[in-house]
A and B are shown apart, each in its own frame.
Chain A
Amino acid sequence: MINLCIYSLFLGLSLVFGGILIGRYMANILTGNKGKFLTWLTPFENLLYRLAYIDAGQEMNWKTYTWALLAFNGIGLVFLFALQLVQGILPLNPDHLKSVRWDTALNTAVSFMTNTNWQSYSGETTMSYLTQMLGLTVQNFLSAATGIAALLAVIRGFIRKNTQLLGNFWVDLTRTTLYVLLPLSIILTVLLISQGVVQTFQPAISAETLEGGRQTIAVGPAASQIAIKQIGSNGGGFFNVNSAHPFENPNLFTNFLETFAILWLPTACVFMFGYMLKNQKQGNVIFAVMLMLFLISLGAALIAENQGNPLSERAGIAHGVNMEGKEMRFGVFHSVIWAVATTATSNGSVNSMHDSFMPLAGLVCMFNMGIGEVAFGGVGVGLISMIFYIILTMFLAGLMIGRTPEFLGKKLGPFEMVMAMIALLAPIVALLIIAGIAIAVPEGLASLNNTGAHGLSEILYAASSACGNNGSAFAGLNADTRFYNILLGIGMLVGRFATILPALALAGSLAEKKLIPTTQATFPTTGALFAIMVAAVVIIMGALTFFPFYSLGPILEHLVLYR
């Protein structure tokens, strides 16, 4: 117990320290402030712009920025889709894997382009090394960079006044990849390799087991993909069982490293926000809101999971410790902290099987994704979603102090409200409808491994994961069917672009407004009252949306289990 407390404290402190450090670095480097260290990279950066015929000095308005982002993601989608369709005839395919079925390929292309990294396929038996490296890993970088670029535009919307310009998408994308994602991934890759995570082009190893049977042990260039999958809130594993696989996450040290990496950049984005605003307190207080939500989730999940499973207890397991679906080397605590961290950010990797969690722990994960991942959230987009919740909060708070609402000196009018409502509600509405369709038609029900309340949870979890762009799998649901590939693909597109597009429109509108000075009558957004209000709005919004559905799923399952 004490060990676990010390571990948690250490993890927390490293996050605050690491987040502030990288947040400050990002605030500088992404605004073109390279400092002495990295000026030597400038010619290389400029070369990239020249090669792509990009005028780095040309700033964009929100529409141009949006088109650039959409075009870039569109090309990424088509490329990744095509690559999977023809991987069978391309090199770097030592295990001679066939080309991917079109619906799986489409789902995967959408999934990796939208930073969801939902995997309806099984990595080691579906994707060639070339596809993993050139397709999936590249999108791991680019989807993360896209999220941060969108956030940068939103931040500029708050900082700037009376302008249409929000920065240059290509420059934001290049700098994020070059100066943030690549170096951090390289460091993490090396650390992971040192702990035994595989990184090789050799084909799968065929081994003889002690009992004389034959076993195929899949290997591949895993470490490099795993580093960015954690750093960029991606979560798509190299192997099917993701970070529960010993070649992805061999020991407690790598587990710590990866848990840290999952939360690192999302945290850093929040501090970056404060630094860019020149209002660190604002960054800190939003971090506090997220931490509060995170700790509530973690606490609830830990309590639920440590209650023990009455069924295990009846089967004679001491205290009913719920070890089903968990790795012995991690145990309950590290599995739960991972589960909460990956669902509260939009990471979605797993080191245990969430399907086997106690119902209420599963509910916590579902809830984290359902509200749009705001407890740190995905890189860039997590803070964007949080800003939308803040806009909603400030709208009510502003009214209740007798002022037309404002946040950070920007008046919040009808346009901002429309964008906030689309961004907050479109993914949720899509989630409810998608799960509603899946649960009503035979194609949806055919994929279920369970019936009753747990089956409902499985479908709800899959829809939450897709629409939240999380990628976390409850498992227990065979999602590699044409029905689910297409339905969840739609969910991922809605979840991603119904957040990013309103965010860019919001940025455009905010940048054109003037900055209202702070006076005595302005509601201070750096205090405890603000933090509590925002957290309450997030929880109440989520609870009001999901209560009737959860009451038929995890809540009912829980009540029956503990009757």
Chain B
Amino acid sequence: MNQTIWKWHFIREAVKESFIKLNPFALWRNPVMLIVEIGSIIATFIFIGNIVKGLPFGFEMQISLWLWLTILFANFAEAFAEKAGKARANSLRQSRSQADAKKLLNEKGDIQIVSASELRKDDVILVSEGEMIPGDGDIIEGTALVDESAITGESAPVIRESGGDRSGVTGGTKVLSGIIRLRITANPGDTFLDRMIGMVEGANRQKTPNEIALEILLIALTVLFITVVAVLPAYAHYMGIAVSVVVLVSLLVCLLPTTIGGLLPAIGIAGMDRLIQHNVIALSGRAVEAAGDVNVVLLDKTGTITLGNRMAYEFLPVHGIEKNAFVKSAVLSSLADETPEGRSIIVLAKKELQVKGKDIRAPHESHFVSFTPQSRMSGIDIDNCKIRKGALDAVEAFIAEQGGSVSDNIRKDVENIARKGDTPLVVAENSKVIGMIRLKDIVKEGISQRIAHLRNMGIRSIMITGDNPLTAASIAAEAGVDDFIAEAKPETKLEAIRKYQDEGYLVAMIGDGTNDAPALAQADVAVAMNAGTQAAREAANMVDLDSSPTKLLEIVEIGKEILITRGALTTFSVANDVSKYFAIVPALFGSVYPVLGVLNIMRLTSPRSAVLSAVVFNALIIPLLIPLALRGVRYRVKSVSALLTRNILIYGLGGLLLPFIGIKLIDLLLIFLHLV
């Protein structure tokens, strides 16, 4: 995205738009720039007046020019930031389906062809292979392979099926195979795609509370500096100094927080755009800011922290049984087991037996026993040898049937495995237990680093699981989460969020299922996975198109970066003012009181060159900082004080000193070019 954003036609269009944005009614949203515009108009009138009166006008012309440029630069920053979003919105718009839809009229399957724009909520439609899905909906029947690349940019198709948490489909995506019945969940104009277009385009961009608070600060500073400049002539007059209006306007514009005032809209837009680059669509700007403040995050164990299913981890033959023989028996018992656990046994066995790649086949004279809810065992009968695999109580029943019994030692071993939070499976051959398989929840690779990363940001991670406390504790310890809630029911999440919110915490949560919807609606920052149900996406305030459960880290970082960028540029802008005083005040009063020349610590050449240099610096700093505003000030995970010290040194102290150098250099250049 960063390569694509600096395209020439973007720049060209943005330049055009910066002139359109000169319209004072458009600038009304940005009071600082509006004042600059009024100042520019005044300066321009004086410049024209001087031409008419035949007075020298070179200085007034240059000041007017640079004042107008100041506004244009600010407009450009905003227009340019909007461009990236607009381009993306356009490509999204193309995928908005104008196709026809097959509307089901009744249960019998009578179909009427209607246009997609006539579809209403709760209509039921039929979509078959190769067709575009005409609107957002939930699959009520069937399974389909869906190409969602138009929305997610991800080329691999995904499976969507009725029931469960993968039932939501989005209008504008395409069914590659399968036939599905959909219940439409959004009216045209209100679909996910529509909202997404609105968000990326910035059409329904509302100012966040923090943006408003910052704007209040900027307006207050504007009022203060207008007062300073407005009353200054009275004092000067008393001292016998006549000050030129053009210089006063220049002083005002230099003192106004034009840098942050000009870049503020761009910072917000660019922040949202960075989220989009991470394939996250924020449905409210407020949520992005809140993300920077999150201090508790709820994580589902399954799918987020662990791989999702229990995996075979260890073969434990009982005393007297050779390990390889046991592994082989275990494999035989699992050949008919299509559950993820069963498959993981075969995978582990292949590793143990070092028969990678080769198939393990059952002997010809064998009979598979599949898992049934009644027997709760799977296994195989080879001749007279019956191998069974299952939980202890099920296998115990089988052994008793065969006339055997389970020894206390085995019972104890099984208990030990369970105590460690793992799941023991017992394998029996006829009337004897031959060993156990330890199944384990496998924690995702890299998850503990990410959780540690969260902790360093000051965010507590809470794992939620339906497991018993023992199992939960062991996974929690391995993943390094700060706390866990075990034996959670669907409503537990909602309760947990409420509890943390009552204590004053800001809670983030990631969810996908329909039963997550209430909790998502309650959470301050709610990220729904795009693969999740429609209900979850409706309840959330952000949608992660990648459906990556740890996307929250990036979201929090971007939220923080937006705020840091605002703060840093505000500090920079205000710190800049000090040097501008030292440039302009001696220029204002020095002609009558040459002793005040002491204040001209930059040794600027002449009063006019000093004023012009300050105005030029003030204007140029805006385009120079556009890349920073768009990219954002990087958030670094370190202690809060270290982060603040760093930013104060760079943007506070830097903002204090940099303009002294900049103004001096511009002064030298102006003299060199004989512009003053």
Residues of chain A at interface, number, CB under 8 A: 64
Which residues of A are found within 8 Å of B292, using beta-carbon distances?
402-404
Check B224–A545 contact: CB distance below 8 A.
yes
B246: CB under 8 A from chain A? Answer: no
Q: Contact: B459 with A527, CB < 8 Å?
A: no
- Report the interface size class on chain B: 35 or more
Q: B36 to nearest A CB, angstroms?
A: 18
Residues of B within 8 A of A428 (CB): 224
Binds B, one of A277-285, A361-369, A410-418: A410-418
Binds A, one of B315-323, B388-396, B574-582, B616-624: B574-582
Report chain B residues within 8 Å CB of A540: 574-575, 578
- Jot down 30 A-B pairs with beta carbons below 8 A, ordered by A: A392-B217, A395-B214, A398-B563, A399-B568, A402-B292, A402-B563, A403-B563, A404-B209, A404-B292, A404-B293, A413-B213, A421-B217, A429-B223, A429-B227, A439-B235, A439-B238, A440-B237, A456-B239, A517-B295, A522-B640, A529-B645, A533-B648, A543-B578, A544-B574, A544-B578, A545-B228, A548-B232, A551-B585, A552-B241, A556-B239
Q: Are B458 and A519 closer than 8 Å at their CB atoms?
A: yes
Interface presence of B457 (CB below 8 A)? yes
Nearest CB in chain A to that of B575: its residue? A540
| Contact yes or no, A421 B220, CB < 8 A | yes
Known A-B contacts A515-B504, A540-B574, A560-B595; the reply to A401 vs B228 at CB < 8 A is no
A464 and B574 CA atoms in complex are apart in Å by: 23
A517-B503 CB under 8 A given contacts A400-B568, A432-B231, A548-B588: yes
Prevailing SS type, chain A contact patch: helix
Contact check, B212 vs A400: say whether CB atoms are below 8 A apart. no
Q: Is B96 an interface residue (CB 8 A)?
A: no
Q: What's the Cα separation between A396 and B571 when bound, in Å? A: 7
B residues less than 8 Å from A524 (CB atoms): 640-641
Give Cα A425 to B218, complex, Å: 12
The answer to the question of B204 belonging to the interface, with a C-beta cut-off of 8 Å to chain A, is no
Contact B231 A404 (CB under 8 A): no
Q: Which residues of B contact A402 (CB under 8 A)?
A: 292, 559-561, 563-564, 635, 643
The 7 A-B residue pairs with the shortest CB-CB distance, nearest first, are: A521-B458, A399-B567, A402-B560, A436-B231, A421-B220, A520-B458, A400-B567
Which of A414, A424, A514 contacts B213, CB < 8 Å?
Answer: A414
Given contacts A414-B213, A520-B456, A545-B228, 20 further A-B contacts (CB under 8 A): A399-B214, A399-B567, A399-B568, A400-B648, A400-B651, A402-B559, A413-B209, A416-B213, A421-B217, A425-B223, A437-B234, A517-B295, A519-B458, A523-B641, A544-B577, A547-B581, A548-B228, A552-B241, A560-B593, A560-B595
A516 in the interface (beta carbon within 8 A): yes
B294 to chain A, nearest CB (A): 9
| B90 at interface by CB-CB < 8 Å | no
How near does chain A come to B522, taking the closest CB pair, in angstroms?
15
Q: Could you say which residues of chain A place their CB within 8 Å of the CB of B228?
A: 432, 545, 548
In the assembled complex, which residues on chain B have CB atoms less than 8 Å from the CB atom of A536? 652
Contact B237 A395 (CB under 8 A): no
- A397: Cβ under 8 A from any B Cβ: yes
**Which chain B residues lie closer than 8 Å to A516 at the CB level?**
504-506
B residues near A400, Cβ cutoff 8 Å: 564, 567-568, 571, 643-644, 647-648, 651
Q: A401-B644, A433-B231, A523-B644 are in contact. Are A552 and B564 (CB under 8 A)?
A: no
A395's contact among B213, B232, B595, by CB below 8 Å, is which? B213
Task: Judge if A310 is at the interface, Cβ distance under 8 Å.
Answer: no
Tell me which of A392, A521, A549 contacts B235 (CB under 8 A): A549
- A552, B235: Cβ atoms closer than 8 Å: yes
Bound: A544/B295 CA distance, A: 37
Asked if A409 is at the interface of the complex by the 8 Å CB criterion, the answer is yes
B239 and A527: CB pair below 8 A? no
State the CA gap A522–B294 with chains docked (Å).
11
B354 to chain A, nearest CB (A): 47
**A43 close to chain B: CB less than 8 A:** no
Contact A404 B289 (CB under 8 A): yes
Asked whether B589 is an interface residue with its Cβ less than 8 Å from the other chain, the reply is yes
Which chain B residues (242-287) contact chain A, with CB distance < 8 Å?
255
Interface check B216, CB cutoff 8 A: yes
Asked if B593 and A401 sit within 8 Å, CB to CB, the answer is no
Q: Does A314 contact B (CB under 8 A)?
A: no
Give Cα distance in the complex from A433 to B216, angstroms: 22
Which chain A positions have C-beta within 8 A of B209? 404, 413-414
What separation, in Å, do the CA atoms of A132 and B570 have in the docked complex? 50
A429-B227, A517-B504 known; A439 vs B234 contact (CB < 8 Å): yes
Within 8 A of A (CB), among B349-376: none
Contacts of B640 in A (CB 8 A): 401, 520-524
Per the bound structure, the CA–CA distance linking A406 and B415 in Å amounts to 51
**Interface presence of B669 (CB below 8 A):** no
Chain B 500-558 residues near chain A, CB threshold 8 A: 503-506
Is A559 engaged at the interface, CB distance under 8 Å to the other chain?
Answer: yes
Contact of A425 among B220, B455, B504, B505 (CB under 8 A): B220
CB distance from A2 to the nearest CB of B (A): 35
